[in-house]
Structure 1
C-alpha cells in the first residue's frame, strides 16, 4: 500500500488562508471604522448647521418681536383715539340734551294744573319736584312721560305725593324721577325697529316731542 504524505502541502495553504482572513478582517474593521467616522462627522456637521439656523431664527424672532410690540401699542392708541372721537361725537349729538329735557317736560305737563318748583338732571337721570291740583294731574303727567320715546321705559317713578296748602289753595306736592334718553340713543333705538314701525324721534304716540311747538299756539 502506497502512503502519500500531504502535510507539507496543506500547511502552506492553511497559513495562506489564515492570513487572508486576518487581512479581510482588518480591512473590514477599518472600513467600518471609516464609515462610522464619516457618519459621526456628518452628524456633527448637521447638528452644527441646525444650531446655526436656530440661532438665526431666534435673532429674527427677536427682531420681529419689537415690531409686534410696536404694533400692539399702535392698536391700543388707535382704540383710545376712537373712543375719544366717539365721546366727542356723542357730546356733539347730545349737547342740547338739557334743552330737550326741559322742552319735553313743558309739553307733557297738564296745562294750568301742574307747576314745577325744582328740576335737576344728572346724566340721564332727572328729578322733578312741584305741585299739582290733584293726583289725577300727576297721573296724567306720568302717563304722558311714559308715552314719549325720550323717556326710558319703566323709569318713571313717583317718590311721594302729599297734600299741601299754598296761597289758601289745597294742592298736591309731589316728587318724581325718570330717565331721559339722549337724542343719539333714541335714534339708535328707532333705527333698530322694523321699517315702518319706527316713529319719528321728535314725536311719540300723539304727543309732541322735544323741539316742536304746541299745536294751536
Structure 2
C-alpha cells in the first residue's frame, strides 16, 4: 500500500493572503500619495494662475488710473480752451459792436441836417434801430429820412411818431441796417446818446 505524504498548505495560503494585503496597502498608500500630490499640484497651479491674474489686474488698474488722470488733464485743458475762446469771442463781439456803433454815428453825423439833431439811437435787434431826435421843421425830418439810405448803412426809414414841443419837432424813426452793414453778432439793445458819439449838430434855437 502506497503511503501519501501529507503537506500542510495553511502557512503558504496565509503568506499569500498577507502578501496581498501588503500589496493592497502599498497600492492604497501610493494612490493616496499620488492623489495628494495631484491635489497639491492642482492647488499650486490654480494659486499661481490666480496670483498672475491678480498681478495683471493690478497692472491694468494702474494703467486705467493713469488714463483717468490723463483724461482729467485733457478735459481740464479743453475747458480752459473753451473758456479762452469764449472770452476771445466776447472781446471780438464788443469790438465789433463798438466799431459798428462808431460807424453808424459817423454816418448819422454826416446826413443829419442843420438845425436838427439826434438824442438817442437804440438797437431793437441786430438789424433794427430806433432813432429819436429833434428838428426845427418837418422839412428837416423829411430831409433826414431821404438822406439815410444814401449812407449805404441804412435802408429806407419809417416814421414812428412826431410831435411838436415848443419851437421844435420831436420825432422817432425806425431804420433797418443794410445787409452789408449788419453786425456779425446780435446787438444787446444798447442806447447810444448822440452827445457821446462825437461832434453834435447845431441845436435848434
In which range does the TM-score fall when normalised by the shorter chain?
0.5 to 0.7
C-alpha deviation, 1:43, in angstroms:
1.8
**How far apart are the structure 2 equivalents of 1:79 and 1:133?**
53
More helix by share: 2
**How far apart are the structure 1 equivalents of 2:182 and 2:161?**
30
TM-aligned CA distance change 1:65 to 1:5, over 3 Å: same
Listed as ranges, the gaps of 5+ residues in structure 2 are 1-5, 186-205
Q: How does 1:22-41 map to 2 (within 5 A)?
A: 22-41=25-44
**Which position in structure 2 is the counterpart of 1:74?**
77
Q: CA offsets per residue over residues 74-94 of structure 1, 9 Å max, x none?
A: 222222223333344444555
- Residue among 128, 131, 140 paired with 1:128: 131
**How far apart are the structure 1 equivalents of 2:74 and 2:20?**
79
Q: TM-score, normalised by structure 1?
A: 0.52
Does residue 44 of the first structure (1) align with residue 47 of the second (2)? yes
Aligned residues: 168
Q: CA RMSD in A?
A: 4.7
**Which position in structure 2 is the counterpart of 1:189?**
none
TM-aligned CA distance change 1:53 to 1:165, over 3 Å: closer
CA contact (8 A) 2:130 2:175 kept: yes
Structure number with greater Rg is 2
CA contact (8 A) 1:150 1:183 kept: no
Greater length-normalized contact order (CA 8 Å, ≥ 6 residues apart): 2
